Chain A
């Protein structure tokens, strides 16, 4: 069955280190998204991509970067981890923007702790 996976599921790192969170989907969806979830804020969009080699900044993109070299993967990199980036990170994917009835499908999440 098609799915969306994230790895690692849990990560503890130190301030200043570079961290990469992986997201892989097998639906062949063009659109992929990264969100962070914090208490009291719901989910906030970090970066998103509408296709290979396309990336865009979301609401809270500072300190994060993404690259899209194929359809299946959108890795999220924290260039220099900060304690404020301790959060739960969700990856999501969806079909074409023109697919009006489509929703975003979410991965299982990665819990990141920055000490």
Chain B
């Protein structure tokens, strides 16, 4: 059974600081997604990582994928309050069947 584990599950940080969210998974996959969810809202796609070594960046967020280590990271640079949300990684196990991590609730304080 595939397990997708995110850590930390809760993260409170100050504006301007850098931090990384980790997503570990237990089986072979070369496709991984990151989503953002605001409270009471739907999921918004952030990144699609399609191969080993893939790196994508959008604004203050950068995601990477290491398929050999079965690890993806979401790095936040110089955090701002607007990035407060819950972030999910999801691993594609076959033909877009996704297994989600538990989510990381990120709170950024002024």
Same complex for A and B? Answer yes
In the complex, what residue of chain A is closest to B33 when comparing beta carbons? A103
B97 touches A42 (CB 8 A): no
A104, B42: Cβ atoms closer than 8 Å: no
Residues of A within 8 A of B35 (CB): 106
Chain B interface main SS type: strand
Query: Which A residues form the contact surface with B (CB < 8 A)?
Result: 31, 33, 35, 40-45, 48, 50, 58-59, 90, 92, 94, 97, 100-109
Q: Please measure, in the bound complex, the distance between the C-alpha atom of A51 and the C-alpha atom of B97, giving whole angstroms.
A: 14
Contact A108 B42, CB 8 Å, known A42-B101, A100-B50: yes
What residues of A have a CB within 8 angstroms of the CB of B33 in the complex? Answer: 103-104
| Chain A residue with Cβ nearest B9 | A40
Asked if B96 and A90 make an inter-chain contact with CB atoms under 8 angstroms apart, the answer reads no
Q: Report yes or no: B45 in contact with A43, Cβ–Cβ below 8 A.
A: no
B98 in contact with A40 (CB, 8 Å): no
**Cross-chain contact of B43 among A48, A90, A100 (Cβ < 8 A):** A90
Q: Which of B31, B44, B88, B95 contacts A43 (CB 8 A)?
A: B88
Which of A41, A58, A100, A102 lies in contact with B97, CB distance below 8 A?
A58
Partner of B96, one of A31, A43, A101: A31
In the complex, A107→B44 CA distance in Å?
10
A34→B43 CA distance, assembly (Å): 13
Asked whether A42 lies within 8 Å of B96 as measured between CB atoms, the reply is: no
Most B CB atoms within 10 A — which of A43, A48, A94?
A43
